[in-house]
Amino acid sequence: MANETETEEAPAPKRGRKGAIAGLVLALVLGAGGFYAAYSGLIAFPSGAEAEKAQTAEPPPDPLPDIAFVDLKPLVVSLGPGSANRHLRFHAQLEVPGTHEAEVKSLLPRILDVLNGYLRAVDTALLSDPAALVRLRAQMLRRVQVVTGEGRVRDLLITEFVLN
């Protein structure tokens, strides 16, 4: 009986050769097809110089808007007797469209007068608050825009704001 079970269980046939040969043939066909597609130009690969240009080429920056900066004379404002500080030193520049630069420069005495009057009227406690500078800037810009007319002054840039 032992002999009969051994003979009935015949070794399984090897299927690995047929699969390996089919895989090798398929790889050769696909490799040859890929080579042909690249060689004939069906698949475009940039050359080394073209690839470097494509990577390093940046679009040109947008042109700057036509703006000019009008420098205001520094202001020294004496603060009231109840404040811990005695003076405020203020210096700013106005951002204006280039076409209105001459008009705004002609109004500088009036602009300085408005800013000087506003800074003298501001509460000294407000001046010492660091967060108040944004509000002060907005208030001063609005007053300057009223003096110069709409569209002539875009922004007020504070370059110096010192309490001493």
Strand bridging mode 67-71 / 87-97: antiparallel
Identify the burial level of 116 via C-beta atoms within 10 angstroms of its C-beta, where 0-12 means exposed, 13-18 middle and 19 or more buried: middle
Residues sharing a CB contact under 8 Å with residue 10, sequence separation 6 or more, in sequence order: none
> Given the structure tokens 């009057």, which residue do they identify?
117
* pLDDT for res 38: 81
Burial class of 101 by CB neighbour count within 10 A (0 to 12, 13 to 18, 19+): middle
Residues 132, 118: Cα–Cα separation, whole Å: 14
Nearest to 75 by CA among 115, 108, 125: 115
From its phi and psi, is residue 62 left (phi > 0), alpha (psi between -120 and 50) or beta? Answer: beta
> Counting every residue, how long is the chain?
164
Please report the pLDDT score of residue 12 as a whole number: 59
Instruction: Point out the residues of the chain with pLDDT beneath 70.
Output: 1-16, 45-57, 82-83
Query: Model confidence over 66-111: pLDDT tens digits?
Result: 999 999 999 999 887 766 778 899 999 999 999 999 999 999 999 9
